[in-house]
Structure 1
Amino acid sequence: MTNAYSAVLQSDILNTYYADNAKKLHKTVDRILCKFGGLSGKDTDDFYSLANEVFADVIKRYDYKQPFDGFLYSCLSNKIMSEITKRNREKRKADRMAVSLDVFKGEEEELSLLDFLPSDFDTFEEAAKRQESGKYQDKVERYISKLSNRQVNILNLLIDSYEPYEIRKILEISPKEYADSMQIMRSYENVRILF
């Protein structure tokens, strides 16, 4: 096959795939992507860009011994699958690196990460600002009625300015039991009663 004839075929292939704003190339990518779920519009745009790179490589390597459409589809499918695998691997890696705020850090597991985060938010103070004609007492009573005895004891000790490690020592509970109780006490389901 002569270079002139090869150039004409490449030009025809380019025109076919890139006519009407790369409609045929996008349809090919869409056919591959429909096998995968959970892709956003940004993901699709990323894969269209990737398809342009693959197309440029495929047209250089095309040997005219097989149909171009099948060769392109195969190469695109392999590249997209590799990219999705890479993205999923990165997500799993990020998940493994995530740390819960309730994980205990510090000397003898006395403090959780939440103890290190500065915050001037006070649930009770905030609720007091929003109370309506004495209804605050009713809201606090409803909040406390949803808590277990251990959680009420923790709440009382927190109000009395005890530190988390002191509360655990007084109530003879483990760091995990304390963290679980605090998570329940701070949960939206319980705290929303106060507002």
Structure 2
Amino acid sequence: MSFAVWALGNVAGDSPKCDFVLGHGALGPLLAQLNEHAKLSMLRNATWTLSNFCRGKPQPAFEQTRPALPVLQQLIHSTDEEVLTDACWALSYLSDGTNDKIQAVIDSGVCPRLVELLLHISPSVLIPALRTVGNIVTGDDLQTAYIISNNALSYLLNLLTGTSYRDTNISNSHLPQRGWVIS
């Protein structure tokens, strides 16, 4: 099963083929693999594949990927860095677009955890979490206010000043992304 999930992820990585795979119902069986009984190797593989399903230029139709939101809400509570990274990237792709997409991401309940992940020690988690929060604040005033109400400004201040990251791999090269979110 793990090899099949990996193969789907590779096919989904090629944007036109991703639409074909999603159009033939591959998301449902993939989401079924992302449960509390899955081995870590399957969780990592399936989360990476899910992230590939959510990305692309052009992006897949949101209605095809929207069912992933409840699963992503669970995955962002993982303690595994690879799972967190790919789950955050998937959310960044799903939140990139219209206010309706942004609202669906907010409604999935991921925002409080995404804001917490702005203090994650690993840049591989921090960057897609920051990108997702940034996408959400590009929405309407209520969507921006919702992120602020989750204490995002204090987390973002820590990111800008680097107070929490003096001894980590978070470099100043990410400063423009941090500023983009606050603007």
| TM-score calculated relative to the size of structure 2 | 0.18
Structure ID, larger Rg = 1
Higher RCO (CA-CA < 8 Å; seq separation 6+): 2
